[in-house]
Amino acid sequence: MKNSKILIGVGAVILVLLLLVLGSYNSLVQKDQAVTASWAQVETDYQRRSDLVPNLVATVKGAANFESSTLTAVVEARAKATSIQIDASTLTSENIAAYEKAQSGLSGALGKLLAIAEAYPTLTATESFRGLQTQLEGTENRIAVSRKDFNNAVKSYNTSIKTFPNALIAPMFGFAPKAYFEAAEGSETAPEVNF
């Protein structure tokens, strides 16, 4: 009788521990999937921007005497930005920094293109150019929101794998911290404006 009570007690402890491990594991999987989904949205928004570039370049090309070097720089930056792909399982600081560097190159090239385009009143007056410019602005806003949502998902995931009892369980199942999107190098310094 006493042995059966001990066995029932040990069985209950094992069952509670097993349920704790299963609950923690399922929670970690959900948070990992949230990070993966958020990363997919970031990539989708950057892809949307890349998809707008050929139409923008074609519209601008029609402007007389437009600087071909600027158009070439945009096309090359787009090619570089779309060539870097990161799997959600390899979201390291280095990989995200390389991805962001390529995307920043495209942002810079597009910024220069739009700034130079302002010198062409017939171009900026066209409906297709204004429409593309509006779509690009909207896409940049989407990218900012997606990056924020991604960082929030990473924060939730990283916090979860570092808190008890998940901190004991996460390493057993290969859950490791993920990197955040960080501001581009030099963005902490405001640009100088001289008149």
Question: Tell me, what's the pLDDT at 166?
Answer: 93
Report, as an integer, the average pLDDT of 79-94.
Answer: 88
Cα angle, residue 151 at apex, residues 100 and 165 outer, rounded to 5°: 135
Each residue's pLDDT tens digit, 161-171: 999 999 999 99
Question: Tell me, what's the pLDDT at 3?
Answer: 83
Residue 70 lies in a domain: yes
User: In angstroms, how far apart are the furthest CA atoms of the chain?
Assistant: 97
Residue 3 lies in a domain: no
Residue 27 lies in a domain: no
Highest-confidence segment of 38-52, 111-125, 174-188: 38-52
Question: Tell me, what's the pLDDT at 30?
Answer: 97
Q: What is the mean pLDDT of the chain?
A: 87
Among residues 64, 74, 95, which one has the least CA distance to residue 181? 95
pLDDT at 194 over 50: no
Residue 185 lies in a domain: no
Question: Tell me, what's the pLDDT at 31?
Answer: 96
pLDDT at 184 over 70: no
pLDDT at 183 over 90: no
Question: Tell me, what's the pLDDT at 193?
Answer: 41
pTM attached to this predicted model: 0.82
Q: Do 154 and 16 touch, CB atoms closer than 8 A?
A: no
Residue 134 lies in a domain: yes
The DSSP annotation for the chain comes to -HHHHHHHHHHHHHHHHHHHHHHHHHHHHHHHHHHHHHHHHHHHHHHHHHHHHHHHHHHHHTSTT--HHHHHHHHHHHHHHHH----GGG--HHHHHHHHHHHHHHHHHHHHHHHHHTT-HHHHTSHHHHHHHHHHHHHHHHHHHHHHHHHHHHHHHHHHHHSTTHHHHGGGGT----PPP-PPTTTTSPPP---
Residue 123 lies in a domain: yes
Number of domains, the chain: 1
Each residue's pLDDT tens digit, 12-27: 999 999 999 999 999 9
| Residue 84 lies in domain | 45-173
Residue 91 lies in a domain: yes
Q: Could you tell me the pLDDT band of residue 65, with boundaries at 50, 70 and 90?
A: low
Each residue's pLDDT tens digit, 142-160: 999 999 999 999 999 999 9
**Cα–Cα dist 82/106, whole Å:** 10
